[in-house]
Every structure is written in structure tokens, then in C-alpha cells.
Copies of this chain bind each other. A is one copy, B any other.
């Protein structure tokens, strides 16, 4: 049977191949420290479950295609509070940030259209773009430069007649880079001048560790036609399994086009929308304590990482990931070795080999992404294991 060229260009998750080996290692008695997973361990606020438990209608009916009005109102209010006024009609609720991205991509990309994305980037962006027939045009960054991409000349030099948009994660996954307001304005000016959409994936917005106020593209004035923001409750409220996200834009024509997709898939689950609405009642105390916990984890990770000779790492300002270049030949090979051939007193470690975070062939081969979503003591031990492993691997 013949399959579409679009799906043939997509890949299965490259992390998946390690799962059977991890199981095998655990069966053999090894303890694995997981730096490879972006699933937070912070409890989901009780408000979510309470709201769902209070649902008392007899029929679990379709919700409206754009989302339930209570959730739309809650999101509007949230943005008002961070000084980014939007209307209800600027928001469409989606099945997680993932669907929001799929919807936007399908509305703006045709075959051979290009979207600029700083690499390394969240690997699922590739699938979202490939499914449209379009392609990612990478803006390459390096660990030595701290993965900096907000450089006007470097971005503009990559724009051509096929370019339709710029997509970036801010705060950054996998790099932890956070843009300043001036850098956001610089990107918006480029987008406006070249008639491009500027798509900010801001799902990690709450996780910024430099005491700056929360930044959003939606705070900028004068770029309503260009700016699109992707948001989600997954990370903000540690509610990944709710799959509630949204796309926000003041570009009415874009929103009308996205609505076609929304209507075709009828709606986003009713109860999860009710739960998500309640999450927006969670106060700033919740974020403050979560942020503090993550900052401690990040600081511990960086402190330990410093002790390993030859490691080049981003000093992340936001999100909950650190990218690092290791002094090994190939982090994919190294991960196999860590699972199959090595342990430090019965312990080993998993991370995300970073090759799939790049679209330029050959890049990322000695890099890894680490998620700091486990407790501080476990993080310290993980990096200790990593250091010992690097030494052992290189003296083989």
C-alpha cells in the first residue's frame, strides 16, 4: 500500500528505541535516573479534580468548537493581568499546545513553504511541519554561544521567497533561553517587514528564573496581523494529561481559518475544559513555590555540571531543560553504553540525545537535553553518575 509523502517524511520518536533497553537494565537490577522526561512531578492543583467531580449534567455533550465560554473568559483574564489584552474571539481552545501548533501550521504552510525555527528545537515541530508538506528552515545556534538566536542579521539572511513564518519556543525547550522584550520587538519587526507570521510557543512562560515579569508576544503593540501565541495548561499547572491548550492571535482571518479545523473536529473534551477553567483560579503563591523549586533544581544541576571537565552547557533562564555538549563522540552511542554496559554502584542515567533536536545533518551528535523535573538530590546524583560515566567511557 502507498503512503503519503508527508507522513513518510515524519519519524517515530527517536527516544523510543531506548525503552526496551531501559526495561532490561531495570530487570537486571539497575536504578535509572531519568533526565530524559519532560513530565513534571509537581502535583496538579486540586481545583482541577474538584471542578470535574462537581460536574452534574446527565449527558456529557459536545462543547462549543472554539471552547467553553468559562475557559475562554479565564484565559482572557489571565492575559489581562500580564498586560496583554485580548478578546474572547482571539482565543481558540485546542487539544494541548500540540493541536494548536498543528492547526496553525496547516493554515499557513503549503508544499515547499518554509518556516524559520532556531535549532536545537522541540523535535515534534518537525512532524507538525512535515504533515503540511512544508519544511523547517533552521537558524543554527551553538552551545558555545549559549544557543543564542535572536540576532537580526542571522535571521534575516535566512529569509527567502518561501518563508512564511518564524516559530520559536520562549522560554526555550530544549535550551532554556529566554528572550528580552527588545529581542521580541526585533523579531516582530522582522516578521512585519517580511510579511511573516511570528509564532511564539509560550507554554513555559511561568518558568523564568531571573525575576523579570512574565513576557509574552501578546504584550507587543502594532503587530496584530503577525503575532500568534501557543499556550497550554500542561506545564503551567502540571496538568499534562488534561491536553488543554489554545492558540491566540488578533489576526481575524487566521482565526477564521483555524476555526474551520476546530469545527471539523467538533470540540475539545468538555470535562477537561471545566477542570482547566478552575486551574486559572490558582493564585500566584502556587507559581511562586513551583518556580522556587525548579530554580533550586536548575541551580543544583548547573552546580554539579560545572564539576565535569569538558562539558559546555547553556545556563538556562527559563523552562526546565538544560542543553549540554559532552566530551564524548556520540551521545546516542553513549546512551546505549550507559544502559547496557555500565553502572555506578548499580545506578545509571538517561537523557535525550540531541541529534533529533536539529534538522541540520550532523549537528547535536555530542549534545544532550536534560529535564530537571526530579528532586534536587536525585538531580545531584544523576550528574555525578554522568560525570563518572564520561570519565569511564573515554578511558575505555
Contacts and interface: CB of A to CB of B under 8 A. Distances in A.
A63 to B, nearest CB: 6
B6 A106 contact: yes
Interface stretch (A35-43, A149-157, A316-324, A377-385): A35-43
Interface in A256-281: 256-257, 259-261, 263-272, 275
Contact of A10 (B61, B110, B264): B264
Contacts of A257: 3, 7-8, 10
Copies in the complex: 2
Contacts of A272: 269, 271-272
Interface in A1-41: 1-8, 10-13, 16, 39-41
Given A10-B264, A195-B1, A271 B131 contact: no
Contacts of A87: none
A1, A16, A131: which has the most chain B beta carbons within 10 Å?
A: A1
A4 B109 contact: yes
Interface of A: 1-8, 10-13, 16, 39-44, 48-49, 52-53, 55, 58-63, 95-96, 98-99, 102, 106-111, 113, 124, 127-128, 131-133, 164, 195, 197, 225-226, 238-243, 251, 253-254, 256-257, 259-261, 263-272, 275
The 3 A-B pairs at the shortest CB distance, nearest first, are namely A241-B270, A127-B264, A98-B265
